Structure 1
């Protein structure tokens, strides 16, 4: 019995007509207008909350470290310090600088949130230095790799990620 009723309903009024009548019964502009007003209200509330927030305080590097001149204009800040008989260099690098040609479109901002910390520890008179590559996260610091590399001066400190330092294959 149900089959016969469905067949007669389909013959009299096809499904495409039923669907289109349902869509026409409530104007689509009212739905989009209500969504627009809801989004605008949320954006306004967010803007008011953000405008009430105080910016984070500006902090200088610890007194033991000094900033390498010109590093902020290049790939990122570089701090240096001598501790005992070791020279320590710290560098913070964004993902766009760490991977050459890695981020072509600015639409994907999640790649830009990745920060790397390079720590280079060297001793005077040695031709190699200990290099730590660390990932900076909102709540943690992760050590990705530790390697022994040729000692670099301040100008070449950030160029190490663009070259291959592994073994040579024939």
Structure 2
């Protein structure tokens, strides 16, 4: 066999092997059982959304809790991991709860989050808004003149919460 024939066979074999590898990787990546979001993306996404939300109303915010991983159920019934992230506004003096709820509602609607405004009972009700869908499981904004808070829960992703806690 000539050197050029052997070389062409070698190149053909490598090309075929590369095509097979690409098909295998592509079929795995498009597996319908694969979660839409990985744990690291779920965590990053909820942090970004909560930060974007607090920026919409302004003020000085601090982390109250999280992002902490917890158990959740995926659509196929498998166990998964979600992140919960809670922040509080440190300075509510001069805050306008009605305007801030309106600003939060507008932001979340632009992000295709289903929103529902609410208020507590009593003479001086606490105003707020809850959101579901879009890029998360749920999010809530509470505009109490004495304590604003945003609580976000990420989408349920594939992953073992215990293992993810140990990695953090």
Q: Normalization by structure 2: what TM-score?
A: 0.29
Structure possessing the higher relative contact order (Cα contacts under 8 Å, 6 or more residues apart): 2
Flag the structure with larger Rg: 1
What's the TM-score, normalizing by structure 1? Answer: 0.29
